[in-house]
Amino acid sequence: MIHLYYWPTPNGWKVSIALEELGLPYTLKAVNIGRGEQFTPEFTRLSPNQRMPAIVDQAPADGGAPLSLFESGAILIYLAEKSGRLLPADLRGRHAVLPWLMWQMGGLGPMLGQHGHFRLYAAEKIPYAIERYERETRRLYDVLDAQLAQGEYVAGDYSIADIAIFPWIITHKAQGLTLDDWPHVKRWFAQVRERPAVQRGTALGKEMRKSAMDDEARRHLFGAAGTVAQETRQ
């Protein structure tokens, strides 16, 4: 059994989708990031970066003590290796997938995260920041579109690279983008969205997400600066 520390956001969906795809049994442990549960001492022991997702595998393959992991990319590799699926074992297949996983972790996720923040959530709308991250977001979509022009999935067969990237593409409307600008991404997105495991993974905990971005959530997620700016605006 795997304990999944989770809140329904793109980084959380990567792991819920992978668990559903792999059919691994798991128990949901909600981490309400809008209420600061990522900062508790118990959760910090599992995820020193105080971000979800995290997992604890109660039955790791070596038969040893429960194994805990943070960082969604590392978790995806672990789950793929545990089940021998979604990450090819051969040298070339494996190292076709891993660069795209790292591209998502180091580029697509952080840049879209910043774009979304400055566009939607920042109390002060700073044109320079919005334009800078929108330019980078569009460049990354161009890169993904060029890659998907060459094959059905991101790197060979459907893999943890697709699973890492897909949840961030879900956010395209909130990012003010239309997939019509990237036809190969649009085709791939529609295809991946049809997968039953993807639908189950992204539906996990949907009801928990009802609470809006209120002042308390802003304080936990954006810190004192966000709160001060918000209060000044009122």
- Positions touching ligand GSH (CB under 6 A) are 9-11, 33, 38, 51-53, 71-72, 220-221
Residue closer to ligand GSH (CB basis): 9 or 114? 9
Residue closer to ligand GSH (CB basis): 32 or 58? 32
Q: How far is the CB of 150 from ligand GSH (least distance, A)?
A: 26
Host H or E run for residue 4: strand 2-6
77-to-82, 83, 97, 102, 196 alpha-carbon distances in Å: 8, 10, 10, 11, 21
Residue closer to ligand GSH (CB basis): 9 or 191? 9
Q: How far is the CB of 118 from ligand GSH (least distance, A)?
A: 15
* Cα 22 to Cα 9: distance, rounded to the nearest angstrom: 20
**Across-strand partners of 54?**
5, 70
35-to-84, 113, 125 alpha-carbon distances in Å: 36, 19, 25
Host H or E run for residue 99: helix 91-103
Residue closer to ligand GSH (CB basis): 11 or 147? 11
**Across-strand partners of 69?**
55
Q: How far is the CB of 90 from ligand GSH (least distance, A)?
A: 26
- In 3D space, the residue among 173, 112, 165, 168 whose CA is nearest the CA of residue 139 turns out to be 112
Q: How far is the CB of 26 from ligand GSH (least distance, A)?
A: 16
> In 3-state terms, what secondary structure has residue 28?
strand
Q: How far is the CB of 231 from ligand GSH (least distance, A)?
A: 20
> In 3-state terms, what secondary structure has residue 108?
helix
Residue closer to ligand GSH (CB basis): 112 or 148? 112
